[in-house]
Amino acid sequence: MLSIVLPCYNEEGNLRPVYRDIMESVPEDGDGLEVVFVDDGSSDGTFAVIEELSGQDPRVKGIRLSRNFGHQVALYAGLHEARGDRVVIMDADGQHPASMIPALIGKMSEGYDIVNTVRLETEGTGVVKKASSRWFYRLFNALSDVRIEPSAADFRIMNRKALDAFLSMEEHDRFTRGIIGWMGFRQATLEYRAPRRISGTSKYSFRKMRHFALDGITSFSSKPLRISAVFGLVVLFSGLIYLVYAVVMYFLGRTNPGWTSLLVTILILGGVQLLILGIVGEYLARIFHETKRRPHYFIQQRTGEEEQKKDQS
Ligand code: UDP
Ligand code: MG
């Protein structure tokens, strides 16, 4: 069976067209198909649309999370629900063309466990988003041992073996594309062109993007901590050299009032210390988060024939 998992956050206007696209693009080859919608705590009518679709089509099921847990956790929740032996993950806003799914399946049948995608370009993406994304992947690849293609997307197909490996990684601050890169197995990559989202605006606010970037770097690299130490040493040595210079100047009787240099030194040192504390704090916060061992998410409600049957039995 093939499962298709779509995390949705306030996507009520997009689910019907995306569902239609999937049904038109995915060949029913008798192996069975299921579409799993994950409503990530939407405040609009997203879940009502999912219920409507699952009422019309027994291949559709949905879960509603108890609040907005974020894209990466919603994906994890949906993948737990998927029963297929091959699973596609894609966005619910029409930016991941369902017409690519046969190509993903075809590539997988060449003997790959995971087929990833990278977008060639996205229509209607602002310069700021493009540039920040490019710089983020440069930084990520420089800092971590895992390599991610710039403009990688959370649009891919995995087989059961890869999916079970993915689900066994239970970290809380999830960075899906890093986890996939870290896992290994036989992976291939295809390219696609991303259209504009069908309706609504991006659900990745600046705050969510910053979180996503920090989760990515802190879960795949401890280099920022080591760079902090090196940075501290460099500042310390510069300070020592400056001290020698000041002493020499004192004996030469050429001491200046020196307020400027003093102030600059204090500001730089203060800044460096706060920066390093902040970096340590980011890691500490994640350790704190992880040690509480809370569940990743809660399911508030389910819809879909199969689930109702399960509840009755
Ligand atoms: N999404 C989600 N929870 C969130 C934010 C986003 O489930 O808190 C979903 C969203 O509905 C979409 C996918 O994640 O299906 C990608 O989000 P979006 O299209 O807003 O990101 P962009 O394409 O702008 O990077
Ligand atoms: Mg999108």
Query: Tell me: the pLDDT tens digits for 48-87?
Result: 999 999 999 989 999 999 999 999 999 999 999 999 999 9
DSSP element (H, E) containing 233: helix 223-251
What's the confidence (pLDDT) of residue 275? 82
Q: What is the pLDDT of residue 145?
A: 84
CB atoms within 10 A of CB 98: 20
Q: How far apart are CA 50 and CA 53, in angstroms?
A: 5
Calculate the average pLDDT of the chain: 88
Distance 226 CA to ligand 2 centre (A): 35
- Is residue 89 lining ligand 1, measured as CB closer than 6 Å? no
The whole model's pTM is what? 0.84
Distance CA 28, CA 59 (A): 11
State yes or no: pLDDT of 307 exceeds 60.
Answer: no
**Tell me, what's the pLDDT at 6?**
96
Distance (Å, whole) CA 79 – CA 85: 11
- Residue with the nearest Cα to atom 16 of ligand 1? 91
Res. 163 pLDDT band, cuts 50 70 90: very high
Distance CA 156, CA 96 (A): 10
- pLDDT tens digit string along 244-284? 887 888 788 776 667 667 777 887 788 788 888 888 888 99
Percentage of the chain modeled with pLDDT above 70: 95
Backbone angles phi, psi at 137, to 5 degrees: -70, -30
**Of 150, 152, 179, nearest in space to 72 by CA:** 179
The strand ranges marked E within the chain are 2-8, 33-39, 60-65, 86-89, 114-122, 156-159, 187-194, 299-303
List, in order of start, the domains of the chain with CATH numbers.
2-221+294-312 (3.90.550.10)
- In this predicted structure, what is the pLDDT of residue 151? 83
Residues with CB under 5 A from ligand 2 (ion): 91, 93, 95, 197
State pLDDT tens for residues 137-150: 999 999 988 888 88
Tell me what pLDDT residue 306 has: 60
Distance CA 129, CA 123 (A): 12
Closest Cα partner for 5 from 34, 48, 46?
A: 34
Q: What is the pLDDT of residues 186-205, one digit of tens each?
A: 999 999 988 888 888 888 88
Residue nearest to atom 8 of ligand 1 (CA): 70
Residue 308: the pLDDT is 59
pLDDT tens-digit readout, 118-132: 988 777 778 888 888
Residue with the larger pLDDT of the pair 230 and 311: 230
